[in-house]
Amino acid sequence: DQQVKQNSPSLSVQEGRISILNCDYTNSMFDYFLWYKKYPAEGPTFLISISSIKDKNEDGRFTVFLNKSAKHLSLHIVPSQPGDSAVYFCAASTSGTYKYIFGTGTRLKVLA
C-alpha cells in the first residue's frame, strides 16, 4: 500500500528552466509534508516543508505547492541548476505520529 507516490521516476530539465516534481498521497490524515534531496551515497537532506494549513511555501529557488483536495503536492525549482541534479523524495506525516512515509523518489537531471 503506497500512501505516498511519485509517479515520475525521472525528469530532465535544461539549466535555467523550471523543474516541477510531483507527489500524490492517499492518506487524508497526512498534514505535514517535506521534500528531501538525496545525492548518491549520502543521506537525504531536507529541502522544504509545508503544513496542511498552507497551500504554498517558498524558500529561495524552491517552492512547494499543496492541493489538499487533490491530495497532491509539487516542488518547483526555479531556475534549475546542474547542482540540483539528485533524487528528490517527498515525505508525509500525521501530527502526533512519529513516522514519515516517503515516496519512491524522482531522479532530476539538470542539463547544462
Whose Cβ is closer to another protein: residue 50's or residue 110's? 50
How far apart are CB 14 and another protein at their closest, in Å? Answer: 27
Q: Are residues 110 and 81 in contact, defined by beta-carbon separation less than 8 angstroms?
A: yes
CA distance 45 to 42: 9
Nearest to 37 by CA among 92, 106, 97: 106
Whose Cβ is closer to another protein: residue 6's or residue 80's? 6
Q: Are residues 40 and 105 in contact, defined by beta-carbon separation less than 8 angstroms?
A: no
Which spans of this chain sit near another protein (rule: CB under 8 A)? Answer: 32, 34, 36, 41-46, 49, 51, 89, 91, 97-105
Q: Are residues 23 and 2 in contact, defined by beta-carbon separation less than 8 angstroms?
A: no
How far apart are CB 112 and another protein at their closest, in Å? Answer: 26
Whose Cβ is closer to another protein: residue 12's or residue 51's? 51
CA distance 84 to 77: 9
How far apart are CB 43 and another protein at their closest, in Å? Answer: 4
Whose Cβ is closer to another protein: residue 80's or residue 91's? 91
How far apart are CB 69 and another protein at their closest, in Å? Answer: 23
